Structure 1
Amino acid sequence: MPVVIVTGTGTEIGKTVVTAAMAAVALARGRTVAVLKPAQTGLGPGAPGDVAEVARLAGPVTTVELARFPEPLAPATAARRAGAPPVGPDEIAVAAEKLATEHDLVLVEGAGGLLVRFDESGATLADAARLLGARVLVVAPAGLGTLNMTALTAEALRARSLTLDGVVIGRWPAVPDLAARCNLADLPDSAGAPLLGAVPEGAGGLAPEEFRERAVSWLAPRLDGRWDAETFAREASVGGG
């Protein structure tokens, strides 16, 4: 099944822009792409959400948002406070499976980290990934603290017999500090999976045409790009001084 779960080690680390980059690269290869956001929080009706941002940056993708809650909280909490029904893993899996019958690639972007609660039973995005048998991509920050957060996320995936495809750095700084440069070598060990890309900080602010042109240089061949971890680490070390 061509479904990839895009999760993160936390919130505000670049999941949406990484999702857009993956979509842009797939579209450039002539594939059809759908982007599914199970729960959008922190936005009112009519405001453009994460799937709209992916479409703006990447191009003509099918976008689906299952639920929206106005307060910027975990989905289960936001649903409860809004007096609205939550989104459970079964609903996420059904929607993703339907999209997978109609598209070459389905990207499911989570909310926050892997184990954020979606409903009052404690169900998480990991439960949806298990139902789908889907690959999981983890988006992580570049700097200090990311090794621990990434290791914990990878451990949670392994405990649930889920496949971690790899890690993408969501916001690579223009001037990386020592921790960020060292993390290029250490993140694969912490994750037990390869580093599959680094999206530059501020990429979401690029014009869509430039974003689509550059996206292939941010992702590794496993994600249909041409980014190379060894070359990137060497150049980052030289550039970092």
Structure 2
Amino acid sequence: MPILVITGTGTEIGKTVTTAAVAACALAAGRTVAVLKAAQTGVRPGEPGDAEEVARLAGTVTTAECARYPDPLAPATAARRAGLAPVRPYDVVEAARKLAAEHDLVLVEGAGGLLVRFDEAGGTLADAAQALRAPVLVVASAGLGTLNTTELTARELRSRGVELLGVVIGGWPDSPDLAMRCNVTDLPDVAGAPLLGALPMGAGRLEPADFRTAARGWLAPRLEGTWEAAMFRWRMAA
């Protein structure tokens, strides 16, 4: 798995922090890691973006962006408003392959969900993942509505023949409600892929050293962690 694409079922659900946790676990396992942000929006030149946030939390990773746009909008819209060239799927593919030649693992983080448009032709992260033949990790929310958005994302990946590696819950609260506890069981069913972790709400606010120490306990062995879905489900049912 030299390249792993990380997408979300929406925005603000913990995609960047999940990317950081995956990176931290890979680094702890002795792997070299690069983080590629396909399209950074809502950040001006000179300001730290999502890739830099991953590096702050996870440690020594190579960071790269295909493009950045100042408005916090879908990449195609943000590029048009800024009068800048859009990101195209092949830009992401070329950048990821170049990084993969020099690193054990490349994490390609999308912008928003799987089908958020990069350009006027409708290119998406799904197109890049398909061209790369890379597995996709989906970051989902914990509460009501997540089953629908997760299943839609999974269906799109299957229709393209793209492997869905699994699902990670991007923010798990201290006091989950009934829907959240039920979703722990239902998410793997609707996704047709395993639940591979759950990050505590507010994980990104931890000090970097504490984040790196804790990250393995949030992710499953498939992602170099120690988290167990069966034990997590048992605790939620207790």
TM norm structure 1: 0.98
Distance 1:65 1:92 in 2: 9
Distance 2:44 2:63 in 1: 18
The answer to whether residue 6 in structure 2 is matched with residue 6 in structure 1 is yes
How many Å apart are 1:66 and its aligned residue? 1.4
Distance 2:9 2:38 in 1: 18
Structure 2 residues without counterparts, runs of 5 or longer:
none
2:146 equivalent in structure 1: 146
Distance 1:174 1:114 in 2: 28
Give the count of matched residue pairs: 238
CA distances 1:177-212 after superposition (whole Å, capped 9, x unpaired): 000000000000110000000001000000000000
2:127 equivalent in structure 1: 127
2:60 equivalent in structure 1: 60
The residue matched to 1:217 in structure 2 has which SS?
coil
Distance 1:10 1:172 in 2: 16
- Match for 1:213: what amino acid? T
- Match for 2:20: what amino acid? A
1:206 equivalent in structure 2: 206
How many Å apart are 1:229 and its aligned residue? 0.5
Instruction: Give 1:1-241 correspondences, 5 Å limit.
Output: 2-238=2-238
The residue matched to 1:116 in structure 2 has which SS?
coil
Distance 2:50 2:116 in 1: 17
How many Å apart are 1:154 and its aligned residue? 0.3
The residue matched to 1:77 in structure 2 has which SS?
helix
TM norm structure 2: 0.99
The residue matched to 2:170 in structure 1 has which SS?
strand
Distance 2:38 2:163 in 1: 20
How many Å apart are 1:236 and its aligned residue? 2.3
CA RMSD of aligned residues (A): 0.7
How many Å apart are 1:38 and its aligned residue? 1.3
- Match for 1:9: what amino acid? T
Distance 2:149 2:47 in 1: 31
How many Å apart are 1:237 and its aligned residue? 2.6
The residue matched to 1:112 in structure 2 has which SS?
strand
Distance 1:124 1:207 in 2: 34
Distance 1:234 1:202 in 2: 23
Segments ≥4 residues shifted beyond 4 Å? none
Distance 2:127 2:38 in 1: 13
How many Å apart are 1:234 and its aligned residue? 1.3
Distance 2:11 2:237 in 1: 27
How many Å apart are 1:176 and its aligned residue? 0.5
